[in-house]
Amino acid sequence: MSKTPAIELTGATKRFRTPSGALHTAVRDLDLTVAQGEFVAVVGPTGCGKSTTLTLVSGLEEPTEGEVRVYGEPVTGIDPQVGFVFQQDAVFPWRTVLSNVMAGPRFRGVPVAEAKERARDWLGRVGLAAFEDRYPHQLSGGMRKRVALAQTFVNDPAILLMDEPFSALDVQTRALMSDQLLELWAGTGSAENAASVVFVTHDLDEAIALADRVVVMTAGPATVKEVFTVDLPRPRTVEAVRLEPRFIELYREIWASLGEEVRITRERGAGRAA
């Protein structure tokens, strides 16, 4: 691993001014390195600042302190190599499915015919070829998420940031989407290197099933608490890998670390409510 890491956060801190004027620290002194082609899952208690970490990497927000580097270069704006799948629906409701997937290449100046061809290819891969003329509101939640995936993958991102992308889906759809994600991910990037993924989730099952490494965040302000390597063989399918003894072992180990932070967050919430 002498190659430049895909993502490097060093001492990154992000503070926001809340509407009431107080200063809120979302991320504190965060160090995180993601190697090229690595799939990293980030887990942590609700509202701890996991999403903020992603916006720092994407260039949507700048760190207050510290440094964020993508392929060795400091992040100064939105990097065209970055793809971002949002937690909420972010497909354009006034565009058809095909037009939604074409949006990225079109924004980047690809001619219509080529954009259409690429979009059709990705729609085929996510299994929505027959729905290209529909509007998002005519699709189910899972289908809209697949549109979002195609929309992101069509740009061929070298870095893929995913912010609880499947949290709004029901359990069965979520497992299906996770498998599809692994499949799509295997088909990204160049031959020797798939895209590097940072996958934020609050679902530990999902994190272990998908990732090479699982990063546990502390209760907010977020910083890295512990990092676990998931030594489960690939290719994986979510339903099968869940039943392996090593999976259960890992789950127990990571939960011991994560559970404590969740408890802290919950107690704070209770303290605030009281």
Partner 1 sequence: MPRETASAVAGPPPAVTTRTAARERAARNRKVGVHGARVAVLAAFLGFWEVCARTDVIDPFNFSQPSKIWDQIQQWVTHGTAQGSLGEQIGYTLYEALTGWVIGVVGGVLLGIALGRIRFLADVFGPYIKVLNAIPRIVLAPIFLIWFGLGPASKVASAVVLVFFPVFFNAFQGAREVDRNLVANARILGADNRRVTLQVVIPAATTWIFTSLHVSFGFALIGAIVGEYIGATKGLGLLVAAAQGTFNAAGVYAAMTILAVVALLTEGLLTFAEKKLFRWKPADAGDGR
- DSSP label of 271: H
* Binders of partner 1 in range 9-28 (CB under 8 A): none
**x/- string (CB under 8 A) for partner 1, residues 114-153?**
---------------------xxx-------------xx-
**Contacting range for partner 1; rule: CB under 8 A; set: 29-37, 94-102, 192-200, 214-222:** 94-102
Out of 4, 46, 88, 237, the only residue in the binding site for partner 1 (CB under 8 A) is 88
Told to check if 83 binds partner 1 by CB under 8 A, we report yes
Out of 107, 112, 172, 259, the only residue in the binding site for partner 1 (CB under 8 A) is 107
Q: By C-alpha distance, which of 186, 157, 164 is closest to 6?
A: 157
Tally the residues of the chain: 274
Burial of 164 (0-12, 13-18, 19+ CB in 10 A): buried
- Shortest reach from residue 159's CB to partner 1, in Å: 11
Q: Which residues, in sequence order, are bridge partners of residue 222?
A: 27
CA dihedral 78, 79, 85, 86 (to 10 degrees): -20
Question: Within the chain, how many helices (H) and strands (E) appear?
Answer: 8, 10
Out of 15, 69, 95, 225, the only residue in the binding site for partner 1 (CB under 8 A) is 95
- Shortest reach from residue 134's CB to partner 1, in Å: 10
Q: By C-alpha distance, which of 67, 84, 79 is closest to 31?
A: 67
Pick between residue 155 and residue 180 the one whose CB is nearest to partner 1.
155
Told to check if 258 binds partner 1 by CB under 8 A, we report no
- Shortest reach from residue 88's CB to partner 1, in Å: 5
- Shortest reach from residue 205's CB to partner 1, in Å: 26
Sign of CA dihedral 134, 138, 139, 145: positive
Out of 94, 191, 270, 274, the only residue in the binding site for partner 1 (CB under 8 A) is 94
Pick between residue 35 and residue 150 the one whose CB is nearest to partner 1.
150
- Shortest reach from residue 193's CB to partner 1, in Å: 21
Q: By C-alpha distance, which of 144, 40, 41 is closest to 100?
A: 144
Told to check if 252 binds partner 1 by CB under 8 A, we report no
Residue 70 CB contacts under 8 Å (≥ 6 apart), including other chains: 6, 7, 8, 57, 79, 81, 82, 159
CA angle, corner 246, sides to 243 and 248, nearest 5? 60
**Contacting range for partner 1; rule: CB under 8 A; set: 103-111, 174-182, 185-193, 225-233:** 103-111
Kind and range of the H or E run holding 8: strand 7-17
Residue 248, token pair as written in the block: 């259960």
Told to check if 168 binds partner 1 by CB under 8 A, we report no
Q: By C-alpha distance, which of 72, 32, 49, 65 is closest to 200?
A: 49
Told to check if 86 binds partner 1 by CB under 8 A, we report yes
Residues that bind partner 1 (CB under 8 A): 58, 60, 78, 80, 82-84, 86, 88-96, 103-104, 107-108, 135-137, 151-152, 155
